[in-house]
A and B are shown apart, each in its own frame.
Chain A
Amino acid sequence: MRHWIFSCKKISLLISESMDWKLPLYRRLGIKLHLMMCYLCRRYKKQLLFIHSILQSEKTIEEIDSASLSPEAREKIKKRLEQEKQ
């Protein structure tokens, strides 16, 4: 089956690019048409957007990484700042 003029490989690149800049109209239409016919590329797109959304939420990062400065590091930075103040 022919998926209009863009191959799956090309579409996978265009979908990634569309997350970084606004593609020209004919490309966006090309993607749309291709996606209508190709469930694998639809899946791929959904998955990229999913990863994007997980990484995007700043909250995720802050919740996940509850790490704090170690007492040693804190002390070291404090000393350096004291030095600077003099």
Chain B
Amino acid sequence: MTTGKGKKSDPITWLEKYGDTLYRFARARVRDSFTAEDLVQETLLAAYRSRKNFSGRSTLKTWLIGILRHKIVDYYRKQKHEQVEENPDDFVYGSDDMFDAREKWKVKPGAWGKDPENEYERKELMTMIHACLDEMPNKMSQAITLRELQGVSTNELCELFQTGKNNCWVILYRARMLLRRCLEINWFQGQK
């Protein structure tokens, strides 16, 4: 280790400086604190092992987050193989029974009233969204987490789920339907 670079390539310093940032980033995406901790560790290890590749063109923080992003994608990829197929119909708010035989709305979308205005309400709404995601079948909540929170492209999402585009859109559609309905019931209806 050279003197000037010494501190810069010390993973303990990275942990101290960026540990929490990485942890939060991971937790918002995998929704489980133990997994998030593991991901932080794996990221720092991988970063340390490939520290020569850090060009200095990006900041250290963005470089680390870039590595973490890959780790998260890997995590989902691995999970896919371990996952037991769930039946989305087990979930209370299925999307098919939202329409009648003539494909018109049977369960009509309600008026949601005002958007949350202040910080407090937004926080509460976010908590509710997470509660809804927890209740949804794994695949659906993963689809939402990856696509909407992680900003993963649809292409990449299909790759992770190892499925064709059409199916991918249907998964996202059903997931959005479920989340929308869950919020309507648990958040907006109680608000009035």
Task: Determine the chain B residues whose CB is within 8 A of the CB of A46 once the complex forms.
Answer: 112
- The distance from the CB of B134 to the nearest CB of chain A, in whole angstroms, is 15
If A7-B104, A43-B109, A52-B148 touch, whether A69 touches B176 (CB-CB below 8 Å) is: no
Cα separation A66 to B126 with both chains bound (whole Å): 13
- The distance from the CB of A34 to the nearest CB of chain B, in whole angstroms, is 12
Query: Is B73 engaged at the interface, CB distance under 8 Å to the other chain?
Result: no
If A16-B173, A55-B129, A77-B37 touch, whether A61 touches B149 (CB-CB below 8 Å) is: yes
Cα separation A16 to B27 with both chains bound (whole Å): 26
Task: Determine the chain B residues whose CB is within 8 A of the CB of A84 once the complex forms.
Answer: 11, 45, 48-49
Query: Is B92 engaged at the interface, CB distance under 8 Å to the other chain?
Result: no
Interface residues as binary, A12-27 with B (CB distance below 8 Å gives 1, 0 otherwise): 1100110111000000
- The distance from the CB of B103 to the nearest CB of chain A, in whole angstroms, is 3
- The distance from the CB of B160 to the nearest CB of chain A, in whole angstroms, is 14
Query: Is B131 engaged at the interface, CB distance under 8 Å to the other chain?
Result: no
Q: Are B148 and A55 in contact (CB under 8 A)?
A: yes
Task: Determine the chain B residues whose CB is within 8 A of the CB of A80 once the complex forms.
Answer: 41, 45
* Residue of A whose beta carbon sits closest to that of B41: A77
Cα separation A10 to B37 with both chains bound (whole Å): 42
Q: Are A77 and B104 in contact (CB under 8 A)?
A: no
Q: Which of A45-72 contact B (CB under 8 A)?
A: 46-48, 50-52, 54-56, 60-70
If A50-B112, A60-B122 touch, whether A67 touches B154 (CB-CB below 8 Å) is: no
Cα separation A41 to B177 with both chains bound (whole Å): 12
Cα separation A66 to B177 with both chains bound (whole Å): 29
If A54-B129, A81-B11 touch, whether A20 touches B23 (CB-CB below 8 Å) is: no
Task: Determine the chain B residues whose CB is within 8 A of the CB of A50 once the complex forms.
Answer: 112, 115
Q: Which of B85-105 contact A (CB under 8 A)?
A: 98-99, 102-105
* Residue of A whose beta carbon sits closest to that of B158: A20
Q: Are A47 and B180 in contact (CB under 8 A)?
A: yes
Q: Which of B33-88 contact A (CB under 8 A)?
A: 33, 37, 40-41, 44-45, 48-49
Q: Which residues of B contact A (CB under 8 A)?
A: 11-12, 15, 19-20, 23-24, 27-28, 33, 37, 40-41, 44-45, 48-49, 98-99, 102-105, 108-112, 115, 119, 122-123, 125-127, 129, 144, 147-149, 151, 154, 169-170, 172-173, 176-177, 179-180, 183-184
Q: Which residues of A contact B (CB under 8 A)?
A: 7-10, 12-13, 16-17, 19-21, 40-41, 43-44, 46-48, 50-52, 54-56, 60-70, 73-74, 76-78, 80-82, 84-85
The 8 closest A-B pairs by CB, nearest first: A7-B103, A9-B103, A55-B148, A16-B173, A68-B20, A61-B28, A20-B154, A73-B37
